[in-house]
Chains A and B, each alone.
Chain A
């Protein structure tokens, strides 16, 4: 297989397979959660479950001061690489073209050298969280294979993308091919690992807030 054949394969059949697994997987996981159902609450409501739920969805985006003080490293590095990933995925022009092809709508991107700088910061933050996980005895004890797998499939596309942008290490078509393949790995594993927090997070927050809201208390 030549580099170009490989690139065509990852852009064609492999991307199709990854898209299908990603979309079907997300729908399956959401249905699994929703169809489990909840116990009916027979207590007299003292507030609105919906209002409490929605409030928590937004409110928990910012950490409360106590948590921030206790786990400042985790929270700040977490914020840095999440914002970094957002900028890289949604504001880099070649990536916007993929969304444009999928959704039919595009949006303006950032200059590529800004995205380049953000990528470096993101890689540093991702490495920092891994080192923290390995060095902190409690965190290391709690970590299992899946945690490292999730870290790897998140970090690989960022590093391979950065290498593809700077075209170092291999022929450019191969570099882009490897980068797209690493993204496809992420897409395939996304619904079935902790990465699914990207969509379960909102349900969990809403549910927490709704329980409290129903009881008329703050979550």
Chain B
């Protein structure tokens, strides 16, 4: 496939019908909650577009984000969009390795200076440069070098977006997110552990079609992260009715009641799981009977326990109360003693007035 082919040409040469391409555009538009009138805009923009160069950097990560994007939607048009995007560097997916791979990254940067897109998955260690290196280059250096000529950065996954699991307490590598290090380029965070595949491709399409999308306070595209899991959860009516599963195998769990008491973080988590779902729209964690872990939110790993509900204190309240009552008894007895002594002193000082005393004064 030629590099200067447009997306439309590339799709046609691969035998993708216009019908299925438009279907993809329609799905993307509905994912972004856009009116149907925007479908032709997406189609037209994508079709005319030169394949943008994408450099995918993988730092402290588990490859789950790459697994998510490559496996779940196999043989769909989303997959092809990725094939037709010029993915010039991705050390898990590319055939080249070592010097050749690094040369490909540098060549892509030079050819597309100022226009290429950098996708990052994984957090960046700041503790010791040797904690994570690629071809002998530390993650910090590679990120700094690569983003210089980038049009924008897409931080895929919670590690790249917020530090994720590597940043979890006690953060042994001094892991930070992309936005902690890069401040002079537009950054789109696509968090999730991993993010939903169609959300990753959706964000890319949104960026390529409309430019930088509208972002929330955590730099997440509002089109996909605009609503909480709780607000779109099909179990929400049970929450409102006060019907909760108390354990994973009780009647409530079997009847599909709300998982709030089992630690569900749906009320504080913003993601598209409840609407876009996983595995080609099959289901999502809550539908499978497990509470939401809140994986698209910062510090979800340190959120006080996956199975403790968000409203409860994390300490041992009973023990604290008993110790406090003991201390209170001691302090109260001491204060009581002082007050009692004062009272006795006042009684002793009290001078009785007689009728004669009163008579003298009048």
Contacts and interface: CB of A to CB of B under 8 A. Distances in A.
Contacts of A110: 242
A157 to B, nearest CB: 13
Nearest to B327: A24
Interface majority SS (helix, strand, loop, mixed), chain A:
helix
Contacts of B309: 94, 97
A31 B329 contact: yes
Interface in B295-339: 297-300, 302-304, 309-315, 317-318, 320-321, 323-325, 327-329, 331-333, 335-337, 339
A28 B299 contact: no
Interface stretch (B83-91, B132-140, B260-268): B260-268
B298 A2 contact: yes
B312 A31 contact: no
A15 B313 contact: yes
A151 B302 CA distance: 35
Interface residues of B, number: 45
Interface string B182-222: 00000000000000000000000000000000000110000
Interface majority SS (helix, strand, loop, mixed), chain B:
helix
B228 interface: yes
Interface in B217-272: 217-218, 228, 239-242, 244, 260-261, 267-268
A35 B328 contact: no
Contact of B332 (A32, A95, A98, A108): A32
B325 A24 contact: yes
A40 interface: no
Interface centre among B320, B321, B328, B339 (most CB of A within 10 A): B328
Interface stretch (A3-11, A56-64, A131-139): A3-11
B217 A176 contact: no
A93 interface: yes
A23 B302 contact: no
B244 A31 contact: no
A131 B159 CA distance: 51
Given A21-B324, A111-B241, A176-B268, A32 B302 contact: no
Nearest to B343: A36
Nearest to A191: B328
Contacts of A43: none
Contact of A8 (B303, B324, B333, B337): B303
A147 interface: no
Interface stretch (A66-74, A167-175, A192-200, A206-214): A167-175
Interface of B: 217-218, 228, 239-242, 244, 260-261, 267-268, 297-300, 302-304, 309-315, 317-318, 320-321, 323-325, 327-329, 331-333, 335-337, 339-340, 343
Given A24-B324, A27-B325, 6 more contacts: A16-B315, A16-B320, A28-B332, A98-B311, A98-B312, A102-B321
24 contacts: A4-B303, A7-B303, A8-B302, A11-B304, A11-B313, A19-B315, A19-B321, A20-B320, A26-B328, A27-B331, A29-B332, A34-B336, A35-B332, A93-B261, A98-B311, A102-B317, A103-B318, A104-B318, A111-B241, A112-B240, A171-B268, A172-B267, A173-B310, A176-B268
